Amino acid sequence: MCTEMQGEIKGCHCRESKVRGFTQARLLLKIAQKPAYGYELLDVLNQDDQSALDPGGLYRALRSMEEDGLVLSSWDTSGGGPARRVYQLTDLGFEYLDAWAVNIRKTSQGLNNFLMEYESKFKEKRSTNNG
């Protein structure tokens, strides 16, 4: 996934420490579903996940994703309150979202294979040792 894209953009960012875990993937998915404001994204992600995301981390991730061409932002001045930045996915952002899905699917399959192998080899052994 990533090695094919490295020559076209700044490289793969799905494993970089500046976007830990699945933050980037989760942000891309939420923004793909509906363009959103930063704090709206923060609320949705913190409801969906057990690990709370802080506003600073969210905005650093969004800024990095914008620099890499994955999202675009624009100021929304409608409404009575202050202007807010709304984020939407670019075509490259959709490509990265697809790549994340492939990567997560492969990781999930690998974890399932590990658990099946572990259980087939050691479940009987552990139950006979404990009994």
Per-residue pLDDT of the chain (131 residues; tens, 9 = 90+): 454 444 444 555 544 433 346 889 999 999 999 999 999 999 988 887 656 778 999 999 999 999 999 999 999 988 788 999 999 999 999 999 999 999 999 999 999 999 999 999 887 666 666 65
The residue type at 8: E
The CATH code of the domain at 12-130 is 1.10.10.10
- Tokens in use for 52? 């709370």
pLDDT number for residue 5: 46
pLDDT score, position 87: 98
Residue 127 has a pLDDT of 61
How far is residue 67's CA from residue 38's CA, in Å, rounded to a whole number? Answer: 16
Which pLDDT belongs to residue 7?
Answer: 46
| The pLDDT of residue 131 | 56
Q: Which residues, listed in sequence order, are joined to residue 36 by a DSSP beta bridge?
A: 87
User: Domain limits of the chain?
Assistant: 12-130
Task: Tell me the C-alpha to C-alpha distance, in Å, between residue 59 and each of 35, 43, 72, 101.
Answer: 15, 13, 13, 23
Q: What is the pLDDT of residue 22?
A: 82
Taking the whole predicted model, whether its pTM rises above 0.85 is answered as no
* Whole-number pLDDT of residue 11: 57
